[in-house]
Structure 1
Amino acid sequence: MADPTDLLSPTLLSGKTAFVTGGGSGINLGIAATFARLGAAVAICGRSQERLDGAAEKLRALGAKVCAVAADVRDPAAVTDAFARSADELGPASVVVSGAAGNFVAPAEKISPNGFRTVVDIDLLGSWHTASAAFQQLRETRGTLLFISAAQASVPFAYQAHVGAAKAGVDHLMRNLALEWSRYGIRCNSIAPGPIADTEGMRRLEQAADKDTWLKMIPLGRYGAAEEIGVMASVLASPLGGFVTGAHIVVDGGQGLMGSSTFNDAVAATLNASPR
């Protein structure tokens, strides 16, 4: 598949600073790489400085100026400090991607209070901490705030009660902020990726069932690429998406049209549980 980034102007995001949480790997690193290729300076944060340093080298190889700072999105002070350092090194953020997330599969009755709280803390509270820390910079730049959502926000998936609750909260937070912060020129949207190749999430799922099983969930018959999420994020972050706010954009090859039964059955088999 041709890289869709090649269809966009390499100067589309020139002069912008992008800040990506969870940017050390996976989809979020793919988004950061797309931003870098389109001319943005890029800040990435995550819990592992070692992982961030490796990601930063990849982004610099694309020609971007990069700031990589370790911060756990569950810690609002750490997130605030990361934004301050990014602003000092790269200038105020005009694009912020709240992508840090946590997940595991478990029957609802076996999810501990701590396990449920951990996912909510990372996904939902982490999104709030990111948005709150980013506000003043985004107000200054009249920028864009993007949240990485998931199919679980809209469709019930078995063994994902914690994730569904957290991501549904993320989407509603996005809509509230789109409503309230539009007066500052800040646009807020969310992207719900489908199955994306070469990510930790898909590698874990392929331990539960083979690739052909997961492809049955996707009407387009293939996994997505991280660059395809990056391109959508770039469009929303640029003047091309200038009249889009409060939108939940699904980029999943049609997976959402198929429901969650394939996922439920495949994961149930690995857990020796009933999917319903």
Structure 2
Amino acid sequence: MNVQFDFTGRHVMVFGGTTGINLGIAQAYANAGARVSVVSRKQANVDAAVATLGAGALGVVADVRDEQAVAAALEQAVERHGALDVLVSGAAGNFLAPADQMSSNAFKVVLDIDLLGSFHVARQALVHLRQPGASLIFITAPQSTVPMMYQAHVCAAKAGVDQLSRVLALEWGAKGVRVNAISPGPIEGTEGMRRLAPQGEEGDAMVRSMVPLGRMGTTDDIARLAMFLGSDAASYISGTVIACDGGAQGQLSSMITAAATGMREKT
């Protein structure tokens, strides 16, 4: 089925939108006619993304851990493209580490990026979201519901993101703002897979064997779901966390363990 979305004249802003899944989302919206703004903390990534997204795209450098920087990025985007129709909060951090070898600061860094950063984006964006009609989409992860070794920091942070999305759906529904979250499974070619999955042909085969549909996902798979949630077709969907994973989320813990085991064997 070829589903076509038209976002002509709508403003879509993607935090973390310069690489991986989030860049794929930004590209899909741009291809559907949206005015796109992307945010990243690295200037080089911002420049590369804007070059890919086209001359009409806006790129802003900001760290989601800095609430004032987030506010400034939002103001710049709204001044350029108008009120926000779709906001995607996807900035994230991750690494493999057993809890007893993880420093307090390392744990805090991931919570600050994933959870506190998500709050900063949502809180500062509210005044700029089109009311009624806006869609806020968080990018979460299966670690939010599936306990995984070497992922204590991410499990804690993403569980918080899930609950944050549900609470905001309750609080902001009366304003006409819908809030949902997407939980991607293994997505090929992403930094997450390079960090969290065993590598090489054997590693890829192992990952595919964990997915009932028999393949890894693509950034287009996530982008299409994000576009659906941002569209009028999803006008009665709010407060949900939707897995886009080929049915795999409950089985990914062993992927993480295998990746961590491989890392230990190399050191």
| 2:79 is the alignment partner of 1:118 | no
Instruction: Give the Å deviation of 1:140.
Output: 3.8
1:39 is aligned to: 33
Measure, in 1, the Cα distance between the counterparts of 2:256 and 2:57. 37
Q: Which amino acid aligns with 1:47?
A: R
Unaligned runs of 5+ in 1: none
1:194 is aligned to: 185
Q: Spell out the pairing of 1:155-234 with structure 2 (5 A cutoff).
A: 155-204=146-195, 205-207=197-199, 210-234=203-227
TM-score by length of 2: 0.94
Measure, in 1, the Cα distance between the counterparts of 2:131 and 2:47. 28
SS at match of 2:192: helix
Measure, in 1, the Cα distance between the counterparts of 2:212 and 2:121. 34
Q: Which amino acid aligns with 2:188?
A: A
SS at match of 1:216: helix
Check the 8 A contact 1:214/1:263 in 2, yes or no. no
Q: Residues 86-109 of structure 1: CA distance to partner in whole angstroms, max 9, x if unpaired? A: 011111111000000000000011
Measure, in 2, the Cα distance between the counterparts of 1:259 and 1:191. 16
Q: Which amino acid aligns with 2:25?
A: I
Q: Spell out the pairing of 1:11-30 with structure 2 (5 A cutoff).
A: 12-30=6-24
Measure, in 1, the Cα distance between the counterparts of 2:233 and 2:206. 36
Check the 8 A contact 1:71/1:82 in 2, yes or no. yes
SS at match of 1:253: coil
Between the aligned residues of both structures, percent identity stands at: 45
Measure, in 1, the Cα distance between the counterparts of 2:67 and 2:219. 28
Instruction: Give the Å deviation of 1:267.
Output: 2.0
1:142 is aligned to: 133
2:3 is aligned to: 8
Q: Which amino acid aligns with 1:172?
A: Q
Q: Residues 196-241 of structure 1: CA distance to partner in whole angstroms, max 9, x if unpaired? A: 1111111233448621122222111111110110000000000011
1:246 is aligned to: 239
Measure, in 2, the Cα distance between the counterparts of 1:140 and 1:242. 13
Check the 8 A contact 2:91/2:117 in 1, yes or no. yes
Check the 8 A contact 1:93/1:141 in 2, yes or no. no
Give the paired residue count. Answer: 263
Measure, in 2, the Cα distance between the counterparts of 1:142 and 1:232. 18
Check the 8 A contact 2:11/2:82 in 1, yes or no. yes
SS at match of 1:142: coil
Q: Residues 102-155 of structure 1: CA distance to partner in whole angstroms, max 9, x if unpaired? A: 000000111100000000000000000000111011144530100000000010
From 87, 93, 102, the counterpart of 2:84: 93
TM-score by length of 1: 0.91
